[in-house]
Chains A and B, each alone.
Chain A
Amino acid sequence: MPQLNMVQSLNLALDQNMAADDRVCIMGEDIGVNGGVFRVTQNLLDKYGEKRVMDTPLAECGIVGTAVGMAVYGMRPVAEIQFSGFTMQAFDQIEQNMARLRNRSRNRYPISMVMRAPYGGGIRAVEHHSESREAYWAHTPGLKVVIPSGPRNARALLHASINDPDPVVFYEPKAVYRAFREEVPDEAESMEIGKAEVVREGSDITMIAYGAMMRPTMEAAEDLADLHSIDAEVIDLLTISPMDTETIVESVAKTGRCVIVHEGPRTCGIAAEIIARINEHAFEYLTAPVKRITGYDIHFPYFQVEQHYLPDPDTIVESVKEVVGWE
């Protein structure tokens, strides 16, 4: 199996799906000749031509809106938004059309499309290039929201998203893009959307994270085991919406404790939703209040100080110790 980083594994998923299904097309700014500013779509123009690899005008609302129309016509567009900060330009089309055309047309026009975008901080980027606003899309009925954490699950989940009958917002942790490699099988691989994964088994506390926050969370889990004799179970959420309540509840029922890590702002963030579900379904198992380690309710800071804003292993370890020590 080849060792691929996430950029390469996403490219592989696009390539294989375009080869397998001529309805799949990709569109976005600088995705053709340039191969995408992160090179996720490299070489696809040469392979599939301009009709299926569309360098679009610089207009995110235009990209998503026309992708919706192409989906109505039976294509399977994968639209790239260059940075997730610029999905805001497309808010109108995402909310009014992408998310609800199936329902508005009384099931006549299901929208099978993907909106991909790199999200999150940690790459010393300029303003507006580090946001994590996945909560907006989780808050929008009708959308699915998927966030992979490594090369292999990124490839499998993108495959699943392209073949999903519903519109999927696919957020790619850009801090992970080239951070590490994994074995990714040659043959197409898929993963079920809506399923979280227990990536580390443990008995003392459940730690839930997704995307780029999986790395500091896993690092914290190892530190907790090595230095503090705390045996943490770690869940990689993978799909933000629809959320896998079952896996979360099962784990919390076992450990009785939970912390949640995400880099997006705290208020009405994904952690808030997870806490609500734990409250609804696992309250009786809790031995301590659930804690969240998140970004703050402020604009993502300029890059000289971003490392202090982002949750880091130390802070996660401290929070876990607090929860475990709660009486």
Chain B
Amino acid sequence: MPTKSTSNPTKATRPRRPAEVDISDTEQRPMGRKKIDLGEIDDLSILNEHGEVDGSLDPNLPDEELKKVHRAMVLTRKLDIRMLNMQRQGEMGTFAPGLGQEATQIGQVYALEQKDWFSPSYRSFGAQVWRGWPIEQLLLLWAGYFEGFGPPEGVNDMPFSIVIGSHVLPATGIAMGIRARGDDAVVVTNFGDGALSQGAVAEAFNFAAVYAAPVIFLLENNGWAISIPTEKQCTIRELARRGTGFGIPSIRVDGNDILAMIVANQEAVQRGRRGEGPTLIEAVTYRMSVHTTADDPKVYRKDDEVEQWKAKCPIVRFEKYLKNKGVLGDADFERIADECEKEVLTAREVFRKRAKAKPREVFDFMYEQLPPELQEQKREYFAKLDRKGVE
């Protein structure tokens, strides 16, 4: 073996990269047929649907942290229900509810700090609120006002992605930038079981592995991609196996178990910070609601499947845990639910004040400087608005 420089202290723990493959190895390949180890995948569950906990795995978070997480999950649900209600009344455009995925949502961003990055897909408003997006802003963007899309000051997030899988490569690129700069931030990017079929996602896995980029691929396996059940989307059951095939440490987690999500997230974040590269977390959860408000699941799935998953509600089981631990009680749960509902309603008021169409802004932010021909088009467009008496 030729000796290699050991100046990089993190090298020993980094995944093997092509440049480190010893090409001077001329040993004869032994004949015969033997099994190849495809890499191990843990399946992690800490808090089951009955609220029972595996004490040996419990991260034993401080009470204050547990309360924070619980509140975030309840707020996510309240917001979800309110948005659906607003959509049905014509106040909101088509949107994608996240009902039942609250633990997956909050768990995937729990361990992130301000310096870290988050690049979500569209079913992520719970996580976005946790990251610091004001609720009214999310309402604005789902109601078709473009000002809603700009990441708030101080929040290192990408606007959520609607084109399936297209954001996963840029997220990986951010992580490559972090690595190139020698920083210790990490990136979380989420996508669904359907997105896993996109070539771009496979490319992202490979780039992340090759460059040991500190990116956490949060695969939300919620059972469905519109009308296509996961078992028709691909033929493997444990989607985390996709990660190990690319040389990415991968784990399968009960996505309705907030404790397991937090543990997996913390481990992945630490691995990223140590320079050990990407992690794939498959969160097994369930899309309880419609795909989007334009969708009718009755056409393609059975109600009893949904009923079965109701019993696995991430909030109900966490509340049992909190109660058993003596952290919160029934009266607290009621109070918190009320507070969250009020918070959402207050945000809705702010949204209603700000929900003004601004047709004159459509030429904004096309370029650093609007080229002359676009300035001309803008004048033409403004003249059209003037003629129509539009502000």
- Residue numbers of A with Cβ under 8 A of B are 29-30, 32-35, 37, 55, 57-59, 61-62, 85-86, 88-89, 124-129, 266-267, 296-299, 301-305, 308-309, 314-315, 318
A267 vs B381: C-alpha distance in the bound complex, in angstroms? 15
Interface pair A298/B299, CB less than 8 Å apart: no
Given A55-B232, A124-B93, A298-B363, are A85 and B163 also a contact pair (CB < 8 Å)?
yes
Shortest distance from the beta carbon of A123 to any chain B beta carbon, whole Å: 9
Given A308-B362, A309-B362, are A59 and B144 also a contact pair (CB < 8 Å)?
no
B300 partner, pick from A34, A128, A299, beta carbons under 8 A: A34
Name the A residues within 8 Å of B295 (CB-CB).
37
Residue of B nearest to A31 (CB): B227
Q: Kindly state whether residue B388 has any CB partner on chain A within 8 Å.
A: yes
Interface pair A302/B387, CB less than 8 Å apart: no
Q: Kindly state whether residue B194 has any CB partner on chain A within 8 Å.
A: yes
Shortest distance from the beta carbon of B170 to any chain A beta carbon, whole Å: 15
Q: Kindly state whether residue B366 has any CB partner on chain A within 8 Å.
A: yes
Q: Kindly state whether residue B162 has any CB partner on chain A within 8 Å.
A: yes
Name the B residues within 8 Å of A29 (CB-CB).
225-226, 228
Given A58-B228, A128-B163, A297-B377, are A308 and B359 also a contact pair (CB < 8 Å)?
yes
A315 vs B194: C-alpha distance in the bound complex, in angstroms? 42
B299 partner, pick from A35, A124, A267, A302, beta carbons under 8 A: A35
Interface pair A61/B199, CB less than 8 Å apart: yes
25 pairs from A and B in contact (CB 8 Å cutoff):
A30-B226, A33-B227, A55-B227, A57-B194, A57-B233, A58-B194, A58-B228, A61-B199, A85-B163, A89-B200, A124-B144, A126-B122, A126-B142, A126-B144, A129-B162, A296-B363, A296-B381, A297-B374, A298-B362, A298-B374, A304-B143, A305-B357, A305-B359, A308-B388, A314-B388
Interface pair B94/A125, CB less than 8 Å apart: yes
- CB contacts under 8 Å to A, within B338-363, are 357-359, 361-363
Interface pair B384/A86, CB less than 8 Å apart: no
* Number of residues of chain B lying within 8 A (CB) of chain A: 49
Besides the known contacts A57-B234, A59-B198, A308-B384, 12 further A-B residue pairs in the complex with CB atoms under 8 A apart: A29-B226, A30-B228, A34-B226, A58-B164, A89-B200, A125-B94, A126-B94, A296-B363, A297-B374, A302-B141, A303-B93, A315-B384
A297 vs B377: C-alpha distance in the bound complex, in angstroms? 8
- Residue numbers of B with Cβ under 8 A of A are 93-95, 122, 141-146, 162-166, 194-195, 197-200, 225-228, 232-234, 294-295, 299-300, 357-359, 361-363, 366, 373-374, 377-378, 381, 384-385, 387-388, 390
Interface pair A89/B299, CB less than 8 Å apart: no
A33 vs B318: C-alpha distance in the bound complex, in angstroms? 36
Interface pair A301/B387, CB less than 8 Å apart: no
A305 partner, pick from B141, B195, B362, beta carbons under 8 A: B362
Shortest distance from the beta carbon of B165 to any chain A beta carbon, whole Å: 8
Interface pair A308/B385, CB less than 8 Å apart: yes
Name the B residues within 8 Å of A309 (CB-CB).
362
Shortest distance from the beta carbon of B219 to any chain A beta carbon, whole Å: 13
A307 vs B38: C-alpha distance in the bound complex, in angstroms? 54
B162 partner, pick from A127, A267, A299, beta carbons under 8 A: A127
Residue of A nearest to B96 (CB): A126
Interface pair B299/A126, CB less than 8 Å apart: no
A297 partner, pick from B146, B165, B227, B373, beta carbons under 8 A: B373
Interface pair B300/A33, CB less than 8 Å apart: yes
Shortest distance from the beta carbon of A41 to any chain B beta carbon, whole Å: 12
Shortest distance from the beta carbon of A299 to any chain B beta carbon, whole Å: 8
Name the A residues within 8 Å of B194 (CB-CB).
57-58
Given A85-B163, A298-B366, A304-B144, are A62 and B199 also a contact pair (CB < 8 Å)?
yes
A304 partner, pick from B145, B197, B384, beta carbons under 8 A: B145
Shortest distance from the beta carbon of A95 to any chain B beta carbon, whole Å: 15
Name the A residues within 8 Å of B358 (CB-CB).
305
Shortest distance from the beta carbon of B227 to any chain A beta carbon, whole Å: 4
Interface pair A302/B363, CB less than 8 Å apart: no
Shortest distance from the beta carbon of A295 to any chain B beta carbon, whole Å: 10
Shortest distance from the beta carbon of A153 to any chain B beta carbon, whole Å: 27
Shortest distance from the beta carbon of A56 to any chain B beta carbon, whole Å: 8
Interface pair A59/B199, CB less than 8 Å apart: yes
Name the A residues within 8 Å of B362 (CB-CB).
296, 298, 301, 305, 308-309
Interface pair A58/B162, CB less than 8 Å apart: no
Name the B residues within 8 Å of A124 (CB-CB).
93-94, 144
Name the B residues within 8 Å of A55 (CB-CB).
227-228, 232
Shortest distance from the beta carbon of A186 to any chain B beta carbon, whole Å: 27
Name the A residues within 8 Å of B366 (CB-CB).
297-299
Interface pair B162/A126, CB less than 8 Å apart: yes
Interface pair A37/B144, CB less than 8 Å apart: no
Name the B residues within 8 Å of A62 (CB-CB).
197, 199
Name the A residues within 8 Å of B381 (CB-CB).
296, 308
Shortest distance from the beta carbon of A221 to any chain B beta carbon, whole Å: 19
Name the B residues within 8 Å of A33 (CB-CB).
227, 299-300
Residue of A nearest to B148 (CB): A302
Shortest distance from the beta carbon of A59 to any chain B beta carbon, whole Å: 4
Interface pair A86/B163, CB less than 8 Å apart: yes
Residue of A nearest to B200 (CB): A89
Shortest distance from the beta carbon of A320 to any chain B beta carbon, whole Å: 14
A219 vs B146: C-alpha distance in the bound complex, in angstroms? 30
Shortest distance from the beta carbon of B384 to any chain A beta carbon, whole Å: 6
Interface pair A301/B146, CB less than 8 Å apart: yes
Q: Which residue among A37, A61, A298, A302 has the maximum number of chain B CB atoms within 10 Å of its CB?
A: A302
Residue of A nearest to B355 (CB): A304
Name the B residues within 8 Å of A61 (CB-CB).
198-199
Shortest distance from the beta carbon of B325 to any chain A beta carbon, whole Å: 41
Interface pair B145/A34, CB less than 8 Å apart: no
B145 partner, pick from A35, A37, A57, A302, beta carbons under 8 A: A302
Interface pair A58/B387, CB less than 8 Å apart: no
Name the B residues within 8 Å of A34 (CB-CB).
226-227, 299-300
A318 vs B380: C-alpha distance in the bound complex, in angstroms? 12
Question: Closest 4 CB pairs between A and B?
Answer: A34-B227, A57-B197, A58-B194, A303-B144
A302 partner, pick from B144, B198, B232, beta carbons under 8 A: B144
A127 vs B142: C-alpha distance in the bound complex, in angstroms? 10
Name the A residues within 8 Å of B197 (CB-CB).
57-59, 62
Shortest distance from the beta carbon of A22 to any chain B beta carbon, whole Å: 24
Name the B residues within 8 Å of A297 (CB-CB).
366, 373-374, 377
A273 vs B58: C-alpha distance in the bound complex, in angstroms? 66
Shortest distance from the beta carbon of B87 to any chain A beta carbon, whole Å: 11
A298 vs B381: C-alpha distance in the bound complex, in angstroms? 12
A124 vs B95: C-alpha distance in the bound complex, in angstroms? 12
